[in-house]
Structure 1
Amino acid sequence: MLHLCFFDSGRSGKVLVWPTDFSHWINLKVILEELHLRGHEITILVPSPSLTIDHTKIPFNVEILQLSETKETLMEELNTILYTSIFEVPSLSWWDMQVKLRVCDSAITNKELLSRLQAAKFDICVADPLSFCGELLAELLNIPFIYSLRFSYGSFIERVCGGLPTSSSYVPGSTSGLTDHMTFVQRLENWLLYAMSGVTYLYFILPEWDEYYSKVLGKPTTLCEIMGKAEMWLIRTSWDFEFPYPYLPNFEFVGGLHCKPAKPLPKELEEFVQSSGEEGVVVFTLGSMVQNLTEEKSNMIASALAQIPQKVLWRYAGKKPDTLGPNTRLYEWIPQNDLLGHPKTRAFITHCGTNGIYEAIYHGVPMVGIPMFGDQTDNIARMKAKGVAVEVDLRTMTSSDLLDALKVVINNPSYKESAMILSRIHHDQPVTPLDRAVFWIEFVMRHKGAKHLRPASHNLTWYQYHSLDVIGFLLACVAAIMFLVTKCCLFCCWKFGKTGQKKKRE
């Protein structure tokens, strides 16, 4: 028994976590719970006004980062930004431009906290690059770190900081809503998005962070340089979801790691689902970030739902719509995964968050997508291309638009067949996505990094990476040869002309 105890303790490690709120946390929490079950000690840094991370209900060590903002203030600000992003002109992320730096500073300037973290001797830091600073902490503590992410704006972080060799000719940029088969105009649009995301980061986002990181580390550096030191990038999608593109050895795809078999429904929900008979049910949710809709929108949606023969379970926390039909029930929370796995579920109306879409893929449920912000436009574009979803626009849709989309998805068997194909592909893996994610975290812990997986491109300057120095040298050689040849020809012509004139005089 003593031998087993010592052996087990030797395998366990200490994990420091720099998380991001909302669906990012939901996904990361699954990985942390599995690491915890395997005996690893987890310490998570949580901002005091965190909106979804309830530190009182997680079985990990928690360090609270005190901020002046309250949870209510952040939620009000978030709702304003979300409304602007959905119904008006999208703006730069409130988290990127305002809160993120204050959260980072609350950790970095806390000498007592840094001393405790230093004394704990962590083996690894797990961070989300959507919220900068995890990599800076890892640098200060001299420990390896890995990322867990879906995407960055325009995929700039993965391409430039991570070294991912993506081409705008067939790899759609994040938030573009394009596929891997683009027309000339779409390729132009995608190229401009790549360029715009680069300009946005290089001139509006990164300079402030570069200055901050240089000041903290006491030497000239950049955020991108520090991010490029990530040992592994755990991408929360996979090839059942993504369009194929080249990737690097230190990029691992773990999409759907949170998915699991459906559990029995609570009695009340099961009775309602069974009451639908052969028609089945439709599950409807707009995720955790959108708490309610305008009264006009909710009435328009309720009117469409009232016209289908299926029963509808709608997660909605706003005022009850006047047009709500007897076939529709409102819930502040629903067991989404268990409902999607129920045999009577016919369709899923979703805001197209990655977690929800993967649960639909896992259970083989076709979708009606209502994307609003972030990666949601990209997600529904992929599902449409794979034949498992229909898209409607929340800004412009009418009741008939939503009704028609539901009828197509439910009544056209090709959507269910395509969803089942994706489901079979997702399940046909040698290792589950969760086991794959945990393996690579433990791999980095065991070997104190994974430098052998990082490409040499991280050690090159931008002009070396694009071989501009080589091209410049070759052009200089060609120019020199052309110059010499031209000079020789001119000299020969001059010599020939002079000789000809002499002969003529003679």
Structure 2
Amino acid sequence: YQRLACLQTWSANGGNILVWYTEGSHWINIKPVLETLINRGHQVTVLVPTVSMFMNTSEPSRFHYEPFNVSFSMEDIELIYEDLLHFSMYEMDQMSYLQIYIRFMDLMKTDLYYTLKYLDGVLKSETMMKKLKQGNYDVLLADPIYLGSDLTAEILGIPLVFTLRFFLAHNFERHCAQLPAPPSFVPAAMSKLTDKMNFSERLWNFLFYALNDIVLNHILWKEADKYYSEIKGKPTSACEVMGRADIWLMRTYWDFDFPRPFLPNSQFVGGLHCRPAKPLPEDMEEFVQSSGDAGIVVFTLGSLVKNITTEKGNIIASALAQIPQKVLWRYAGEKPDTLGANTRIYKWIPQNDLLGHPKTRAFITHGGTNGIYEAIYHSVPMVGIPMFGDQPENMIHMETKGAAVIVDLNSMKTEDLKDAINAVINEKTYKENILRLSSIYHDRPMSPLDEAVFWIEFTMRNKGAKHLRVQAHELTWYQYHSLDVLAFLLAVVLLLILLFIKTCSFCFQRCCGRKEKTKRKAE
């Protein structure tokens, strides 16, 4: 309750907050935090590149945008996303593990190239850096997925708060934040494993961590270190700079994730964007009410997937036409020939408000974190059609917790989708399990949004949070695992064994020597 008191009293003298640029669902997720900070009297300035798919500076906004120039076009960024989607949706299933890794490394190299180009627009621009230094900011808020915020905060001499869902194989969290992740029971991010692993799964988990560390060291950290060293003018480890962040706001919680160890400066705030439902537009509400007792199904594949192949569209539409519920489907592709009278297509839907509607029976989702958390918040069981990124991993979490059924997009038949929808609606265990997860979400001392705001303000009040930073950051890898201590103890044990052997040998020789002398005298 002390936290609640701080939230109520501290905003009298508002802070000056700088926000690092981000994209897609990451931007959607951070906006409620910014709105709340403004409501509490803080000034918020958002760095935004001149080329961005989701950060629209022309929209009415209560926070200030600080644009910076980049040396590439919107078409370049769209091609990257299209390439990623095509690989994830249509190529990956036809590839071996080796081919997937080679293709993935190529995609990562391309992404890193543009990431560093973004950084050039901030860190290599004298005009922009001069503006930022004159801004007198109290804290920088960023998602570490978009590199460079940590180096900027260090140059500006201000505290840094990170907000992160996860990085591949928990690489950022383990090596930079020093967040413990024992491979025996903490599944590596993107491994598609749960916390209940048999021997072969633990072996795969261990190898997944190790292989991804090797790949990321070669592709990501090697180039990031070079860039950071260039800016700093001396050899610099990008991971060490990232590790100096004051607070890590992890966008997950135990309703969604599996239990794991955490540190004082890592706070779990999953679902911070969730909110009660608002009334629907009049025409949409009329369609929803026409569903009667059967209710409705909400269907969306996220903000990045605009359409799918004609064949898949017809398979999905045919399945939806065979269920008794009315369906609201967010879809920008060609209207399927098999579309039923119970299904309406929209280019945009108020997802959260529909999930919070009392007539909603199921949510067909691509498995994005934001959508899953809204379904947990509103207690709606799910059918997952994951396609790329963290989506398969997210849906495995929900399936393991008994709140979802997964359908594979590439092999899906009409009956598969229809059966999955009927299962989550008609089998009561799915509703019971999602109600249990929703109860876990809501049963907290304060909401995740208030929790996030508290820690941002805490960092500003205390000019950082270095007192929460564990000493593990200052240890070498062998000190962290106490290998030097084990080596010393082993050496002591070996020395004692050697002394014991030498002593026994000496005593044996003395004893045998006396017997020999006695025998000779007797002769």
Question: Match of 1:461?
Answer: 476
1:87 deviates by 2.2
**What SS does the aligned partner of 2:339 have?**
coil
Tell me, yes or no, if the aligned pair for 2:21 and 2:49 is still in contact at 8 Å.
no
1:190 deviates by 1.3
Tell me, yes or no, if the aligned pair for 1:176 and 1:377 is still in contact at 8 Å.
no
TM-score calculated relative to the size of structure 1: 0.95
Query: What percentage of residue pairs aligned between the two structures are identical?
Result: 54
- Name the amino acid aligned to 1:15: I
1:346 deviates by 0.7
Residue 85, structure 1, aligned to residue 88, structure 2: yes
Which of 421, 426, 445 is the equivalent residue of 2:441?
Answer: 426
Question: Match of 1:411?
Answer: 426
Can you list the C-alpha shifts for 1:440-485, whole angstroms capped at 9, x where unaligned? 1011001100111111111111111111111111111122222222
1:138 deviates by 0.2
Which of 48, 58, 62 is the equivalent residue of 1:59?
Answer: 62
- Name the amino acid aligned to 2:30: L
- Name the amino acid aligned to 2:185: Y
1:109 deviates by 0.5
Question: Match of 2:5?
Answer: none
Can you list the C-alpha shifts for 1:22-73, whole angstroms capped at 9, x where unaligned? 0000011111111112221111111221111112223322222212221123
1:139 deviates by 0.7
Tell me, yes or no, if the aligned pair for 1:65 and 1:107 is still in contact at 8 Å.
yes
Residue correspondence of structure 1 range 370-385 to structure 2 within 5 A: 370-385=385-400
Which of 12, 15, 19 is the equivalent residue of 1:13?
Answer: 15
1:432 deviates by 1.2
Question: Match of 1:50?
Answer: 52
Task: Tell me: CA distance 1:9–1:404, structure 2 relative to 1, closer, same or farther (3 Å).
Answer: closer
Task: Tell me: CA distance 1:184–1:74, structure 2 relative to 1, closer, same or farther (3 Å).
Answer: same
Residue correspondence of structure 1 range 206-285 to structure 2 within 5 A: 206-285=221-300
Taking the aligned partners of 2:166 and 2:377, their CA distance within structure 1 comes to: 21
Taking the aligned partners of 2:290 and 2:245, their CA distance within structure 1 comes to: 52
Taking the aligned partners of 1:238 and 1:367, their CA distance within structure 2 comes to: 18
Can you list the C-alpha shifts for 1:122-177, whole angstroms capped at 9, x where unaligned? 11001111111000100111111010010011111111111111211111111122
Question: Match of 1:183?
Answer: 198
Question: Match of 1:448?
Answer: 463
Taking the aligned partners of 1:101 and 1:463, their CA distance within structure 2 comes to: 32
Taking the aligned partners of 1:490 and 1:215, their CA distance within structure 2 comes to: 63
- Name the amino acid aligned to 1:41: Q
- Name the amino acid aligned to 2:70: L
Q: Which moves more between the two structures, 481-490 or 382-391? A: 481-490
**What SS does the aligned partner of 1:330 have?**
strand
Question: Match of 2:78?
Answer: 75
Tell me, yes or no, if the aligned pair for 1:96 and 1:131 is still in contact at 8 Å.
no
Taking the aligned partners of 1:204 and 1:76, their CA distance within structure 2 comes to: 21
Taking the aligned partners of 1:127 and 1:117, their CA distance within structure 2 comes to: 15
Residue 143, structure 1, aligned to residue 158, structure 2: yes
Q: Which moves more between the two structures, 358-367 or 491-500? A: 491-500
Q: Which runs of 5+ in 2 are unaligned?
A: 1-8, 93-99
Q: What number of residue pairs does the alignment pair up?
A: 500
1:500 deviates by 4.1
Q: Which moves more between the two structures, 434-443 or 381-390? A: 381-390
**What SS does the aligned partner of 2:58 have?**
helix
Taking the aligned partners of 2:111 and 2:135, their CA distance within structure 1 comes to: 29
Question: Match of 1:395?
Answer: 410
**What SS does the aligned partner of 2:46 have?**
strand
Tell me, yes or no, if the aligned pair for 1:17 and 1:45 is still in contact at 8 Å.
yes
Q: Which runs of 5+ in 1 are unaligned?
A: 1-6
- Name the amino acid aligned to 1:86: M
Question: Match of 2:179?
Answer: 164
Which of 197, 208, 229 is the equivalent residue of 1:193?
Answer: 208
Question: Match of 2:42?
Answer: 40
Question: Match of 2:97?
Answer: none
Residue 339, structure 1, aligned to residue 359, structure 2: no
- Name the amino acid aligned to 1:73: D
Taking the aligned partners of 1:420 and 1:485, their CA distance within structure 2 comes to: 65
**What SS does the aligned partner of 2:119 have?**
helix
Can you list the C-alpha shifts for 1:179-200, whole angstroms capped at 9, x where unaligned? 2111222112211111122112
Question: Match of 1:481?
Answer: 496
Which of 174, 185, 191 is the equivalent residue of 2:189?
Answer: 174
Which of 12, 17, 29 is the equivalent residue of 1:27?
Answer: 29
TM-score calculated relative to the size of structure 2: 0.92
Tell me, yes or no, if the aligned pair for 1:15 and 1:125 is still in contact at 8 Å.
yes
Taking the aligned partners of 2:480 and 2:357, their CA distance within structure 1 comes to: 51
Taking the aligned partners of 2:354 and 2:150, their CA distance within structure 1 comes to: 38
Residue 358, structure 1, aligned to residue 364, structure 2: no
**What SS does the aligned partner of 1:83 have?**
helix
Taking the aligned partners of 1:233 and 1:19, their CA distance within structure 2 comes to: 17
* RMSD of Structure 2 on Structure 1 (CA): 1.7
Which of 484, 487, 502 is the equivalent residue of 1:472?
Answer: 487
Question: Match of 2:3?
Answer: none
Taking the aligned partners of 2:175 and 2:76, their CA distance within structure 1 comes to: 34
**What SS does the aligned partner of 2:48 have?**
strand
Question: Match of 1:310?
Answer: 325
1:10 deviates by 6.2
Taking the aligned partners of 1:384 and 1:312, their CA distance within structure 2 comes to: 22
Tell me, yes or no, if the aligned pair for 1:118 and 1:141 is still in contact at 8 Å.
yes
Question: Match of 2:6?
Answer: none
Taking the aligned partners of 2:245 and 2:302, their CA distance within structure 1 comes to: 30
Task: Tell me: CA distance 1:9–1:250, structure 2 relative to 1, closer, same or farther (3 Å).
Answer: closer
Taking the aligned partners of 1:284 and 1:99, their CA distance within structure 2 comes to: 33
Q: Which moves more between the two structures, 150-159 or 389-398? A: 389-398
- Name the amino acid aligned to 2:411: T
1:497 deviates by 4.2
Q: Which moves more between the two structures, 140-149 or 90-99? A: 90-99
1:492 deviates by 3.3
Can you list the C-alpha shifts for 1:173-232, whole angstroms capped at 9, x where unaligned? 111222211122211221111112211222221011112212212232211111111111
